[in-house]
Amino acid sequence: MYAMKYMNKQKCIERDEVRNVLRELQVMQRLEHPFLVNLWFSFQDEEDLFMVVDLLLGGDLRFHLQQNVRFKEQTIQLYICELALALDYLQRSHIIHRDIKPDNILLDEHGHVHITDFNVATVLKDSETASSMAGTKPYMAPEVFRSFVDGGVGYSYAVDWWALGVTAYELLHGSRPFEIRSSTAAAEALHIIHRQHLRFSSVCSRATLDLIRSLLSRDPSSRPSRLSDVQASPYLTDVDWDAVLQKSVPPGFVPHKGRLNCDPTFELEEMILESRPLHKKKKRLAKSRDKRSTPLVDDVYLSVSQPMHMQSSLDSLTEDFIAFNREKMKQRLVSDSPDVQLMTAANKHHDGQNNNNNNIILTTGSSSELH
């Protein structure tokens, strides 16, 4: 089963979100990993853009924090390992997520974590850095604020590892390490990070505190920012990383299967605010097609239902949107494999000898990482 997200084209244009939506699609189409929310299909119709992704029913970590779940140290350790594997994969794919936080970490039904929301992700080329202030302020690294305040030298993948440290601290203590809010000015946030001392709970092991403290290093050059850096931590020396990647290590916290793992009030508000629900789409589109296309000159048409500038933006969005089908992509990868081609040729030769015209059916196994 999958989850489907749909976005109204006109609203995307009105809210100036087209660039972020298209960038998110482009990023997700090139990724697949056990600890990401993976994109399977993307398509469009006249009104909406659609994204079909992994279905994760365990809710996000923000919801569970709000439900006063107290995560055990062993559970947080597994989360750090799983998220570190995901961040390492993103880094090898030259991608900074830029918005790692409990709200963007979903749990599956077994309790494993998955990173979602690539709306502000960016792709780096070679040794270049990013410079724009993007993400959620309480989880932004100091170099992001510094780049905005005084130009700085930009920032790189280390900002995601800082956000991992903030998230781990919050899961451990139930509150964030720095008193920064979305309304806090960048210069003030930078001042808070450099002046405020970190306070840790006395009930946690020293190794745990040392790892989180290192992730929250204000200097990105001394901050763990690679998987190998994290693996070297005394806190994680006994971890079987292959077992973690295969999801063979059971999480200490498993979401309730018989309960809704989200805020029903928020979900209901979203449904009420959706003014153009999907179940009425067929009639609405048919009606729109009937009254559309008043002829102008030489087979050029103008929609009577949209202002000219909006129609132009809609046309551009429709043209720039890239449809995606991961299943077909996987089939192509399998069929292009030399081993598969050799097997196909051998079978054709065998079929010719036996006058047998049966088709060869190729099946794919479990999802593999795309590097």
| Residues that are catalytic | 99
Q: Which helix (H) or strand (E) holds 53?
A: strand 48-54
Pairing state of beta strands 301-302 and 294-295? antiparallel
DSSP-assigned letter for residue 354:
T
Give the Cβ contact number of residue 22 at 10 Å: 16
Residue in this structure with the two tokens 């992704």, named with its chain if needed: 53
Among 18, 5, 1, 7, which residue's Cα sits nearest to residue 310?
18
Among 271, 320, 273, which residue's Cα sits nearest to residue 49?
320
Spatial distance between the Cα atoms of 101 and 60, rounded to a whole number of angstroms: 10
Beta bridge partners of 123: 95
Q: Which helix (H) or strand (E) holds 368?
A: none
Is 170 in contact with 65 (CB distance < 8 Å)? yes
Q: What is the residue type of 98?
A: R
Crossing angle for the helix pair 73-92 and 206-215, to the nearest 10 degrees:
30
Beta bridge partners of 52: 4, 41
